[in-house]
Structure 1
Amino acid sequence: MEVKVAVVGATGNVGQEMLAIMEERLFPASEVIPLASRRSIGREVSYGDKKLKCRDLENFDFSTVDIALFAAGGSVAKEWGPKAAKAGALVIDNSSHFRMDPDVPLIVPEVNADAVTQIKKNIIANPNCSTAQLVVALKPLHDAAKIKRVVVSTYQSTSGAGKDAMDELFNQTKGIFVNDTPTPEKFTKQIAFNVIPHIDVFMEDGFTKEEWKMTSETKKILDTKIKLTANCVRVPTFVGHGEAVNVEFENPLSDDEAREILREAPGILVVDKREDGGYVTPVECVGDFATFISRLRVDPTVDNGLAFWCVSDNLRKGAALNAVQIAETALNRNIIKK
């Protein structure tokens, strides 16, 4: 079945990735309509070899499309998501606005695809970029030995904060070489040649909202009984999130067993050689669909513990790819009715 698809926020990083991924995966779209704010009306975006002109979100009739992929932030999703859903489009939203709504499923298809049958508001939420790759890695291990506790430290690229953040890294890096003083604008501190242990706003308990998202979303997607603590750090890379993960299980699981389980799991590629360069870094994962696992080993500080390194393209699996996979899942399970 071919469907009509609107992409809201088509001029942004994630919106453009959605268009690229739909074309790469031969998504069965009879028509793709890029939508953006009024100032971007007429701007062209790429869809394979085609150039599509952006249309005005405010005047768009969502009853004319079957799927609306939202990649435009929480305020846009809050205003236009329910309107699009009421008009009959299946809304798949990449913002954080609907994620913890009990009537909105939060889905990573490799982990909880069955949740697509629990739609009540005609809206499905896409998880946070750092959560998405983490739960893809945790799911097969949880099925094998039942996870009790997770400790994760993230190394998140600037693209997770948008195009302006990437530009700030580029301009600061370039400026340092000509002795310009870096001026933070998007970030709270200099990002070039630095790391910032702060993503999103601080909460009363001292954690940031990004860290809270990882905890809350993992519980909703995977298992409410899992205990998780996160330390989220912005690093001076453009694309690709890294995560250092320590997991404590209820039941014994050797590193060799875990390695074989992960090799068979959907969406995962294991590159784990105990030698120089025998692992994947963020630069190497850019443009790939997979979540890569490396440095898998026993954590001797707890009973039944493992540690590993996880990287993924945050604009793809962390955002655009996951949204397209949700749409594919909905189509395959006949959730979308033309």
Structure 2
Amino acid sequence: MTTPQQPIGSGFGRDTTAQEVLHGQDLSGRLAVVTGGYSGLGLETTRALHAAGAHVVVPARRVDSATETLSGLDRVEVAELDLGDQDSIRRFAEELVASGRHVDMLIDSAGIMACPETRIGPGWEAQLGTNHLGHYALVNRLWPALRGGARVISVSSAGHRRSGIRWEDPQLETGYDKWVAYGQSKTANALFALHLDRLAEGDGVRAFSLHPGGIMTPLQRHVPHEEQVRLGWVDEDGRPVNAAFKTPQQGAATQVWAATSPQLDGRGGVYLEDVDIARVVPSDADGPGVREHAADPEQAARLWELSARLTGVDAFA
């Protein structure tokens, strides 16, 4: 059933924290997988889910760093995964599926932003290859562990406003722009959740995408200080100056709500922001909302076909 892309009046808002979203919820006995769950928003998500009783698996490219960061948290385990390496994704997924555990929540929170031109795997542009194709393959390979009640959360961004899918040149081989590449990958995150929900609803799996808000995290590591000043993010001393920035705890709220809230039971495929369902707005609009090009079912189906062809993986084929 198609969920309307319009707010439901969740009672939460921009300043809500992940802890407030989970107030009164007991996630004991439930298993969450949080990519990037040891840094930035992913770390806050891991902490919030753990505090509510969940067992959390944190796939990490930097296993030692993740283990150190998450030390002291029982019910949190770290496993090796590089989203830019399809073989690594296959190994991680096969091990988790073989364990026989059911994944209740898969939160695709890891990502890279505005990096210099980089090619991974068979020559894929790194932001599309990591942010989208890596998570696409992960979800499809984990499908046996997701069937029957899981929620899949695809962390997009307001960055999707910068670009739709570059259908004639998705790998940006004819000219690289780091922000166009980032925007395309975030549009892909939204379209992925839209089509996954259509495919998976019959098996009890629902998918959501979201904009967590602007937050200063290690995600900005590829953006030079001078550019951050020019963009109005920080002052000359590196202090945040944009009042629109959220704290990491506030930034994690929407993805935690998407993964756990009973308010979303029976819903799926929609783009969320500020802990509610967002509205669809024209692609050239200003302000909040999901742009039309990131909420288009036909483009979502087309992207799925392209992703299946590139990765060689499709759990629904």
TM range (shorter): 0.3 to 0.5
Structure with more relative contact order (C-alpha pairs < 8 Å, separation 6 or more)? 2
In terms of fraction of residues, the more helix-rich structure is 2
In terms of fraction of residues, the more strand-rich structure is 1
Structure-2-length-normalised TM-score = 0.42
Determine which structure has more spread, i.e. the larger CA radius of gyration.
Answer: 1
Structure-1-length-normalised TM-score = 0.40
